Chain A
Amino acid sequence: MSRSERAYGALFLAYPEEFRRGYGPQMEQAFGDLYKEARERGGRSGIARLWMLTISDLATTAGAQRITPRADREEVAMYDRRLAVLGLVLLLSPLYFVTASLLKYGLGIGLLFDPLEAFLSVAGRRVVFNVVSPFVFLGGLSLALALNIYAVTRWNVSREDGTIVSTVRIKLGLWNIAVAAISALLLVTLVEYAFLENFTHR
């Protein structure tokens, strides 16, 4: 093994371990091939040119591999699906409450509301419900909305020639869009309900 190949092997430590494990032997072999070619074709000046290419390549790509270890698309899709499931769990209780209330007071169907009312009729439970429910309902819905908007819109802020550039990429994840839309709808309904209950003259 030549000195250049040994030096490349040492500089190779600049890459993150996971990348070295996956591609290290191949990259070292590719460098070895490039080195032999450079030596045969251009002698010392060929080797010098190879080192110039290698150092600039290493400086850019080792940094990039460390700073932005890009998750593959399957990982991102799985992560987005998890956000949709979490959002769905968070909106279940407000969805039940709003649906039960609308059925009871809009259509006179107590199928969902009556069991809730019976449960809350036990002393002390209503007080706890009145204190906890705004946090669970409004907080849960806000969180579900924020997480799924994050899954649909990917923000990227970078600096180019002294200017801060922001880009937004929209990803049409149907489950995330559905959860965000239902959360927004329920949030508006609950806020409107709270406003009407507390701030209108009777």
Chain B
Amino acid sequence: MKKDGPEREREVRELLPLTPAVLNILLALAEEERHGYGIMREVEGRTGGQTRLGPGTLYGSIKRMLADGLIEESAERPDPAMDDQRRRYYRITDLGRRVAGAEAERLAGLVETARARKLLGGRGSSVPEGV
């Protein structure tokens, strides 16, 4: 059954706010399908090593995200010949994209508030860029 606008919006709102691990996993999968280790590498690379997901955090989050419908297992294997058959690939769902977008907007709102209160944005700010 297709859900209408307000119901879809409510569905997204119920899942917010996201934990940093869940948001990072969604960001990693927004680009392409990845397996667990691939997600770990992407997150570590993108955050310059500041965020490292351990296997427990990663798969604990994946379990919850699968249950919430934010991601799904992919049947396709990008390169079967080069890959271990035990690996499972994950891809972001439409709901996952909407939830990640809503969370990013929520965080952008917080950043705007911080900027308006002169907590960041200026040269010499103690907050590093890109955080």
Contact = CB atoms under 8 A, between A and B. Distances in A.
Contacts of A31: 55
A53 B54 contact: yes
Interface string B99-124: 00000000000000000000000000
Contact of B63 (A23, A54, A73, A171): A23
B67 interface: yes
Nearest to A57: B54
**Chain A's interface: helix, strand, loop or mixed, by majority?**
helix
Contacts, number: 67
B130 interface: no
Interface stretch (A61-69, A95-103, A106-114, A138-146): A61-69
B91 to A, nearest CB: 16
Given A27-B56, A54-B54, A62-B56, A73 B68 contact: yes
B54 A58 contact: yes
Contacts of A65: 56, 60
Interface in B39-59: 40, 52, 54-59
B3 interface: no
Contacts of B14: 171
A57 B86 contact: no
B59 A72 contact: no
Interface of A: 15, 19, 22-23, 25-27, 29-31, 33-34, 53-54, 56-58, 60-62, 64-65, 70, 72-74, 171-172
Counting from the closest, the 8 A-B pairs by CB-CB distance are: A57-B54, A61-B56, A72-B67, A23-B59, A27-B55, A33-B37, A57-B56, A30-B55
Given A34-B40, A72-B67, 14 more contacts: A15-B56, A23-B59, A26-B59, A27-B55, A29-B87, A30-B55, A30-B58, A34-B37, A34-B55, A53-B52, A56-B54, A57-B54, A61-B54, A73-B68
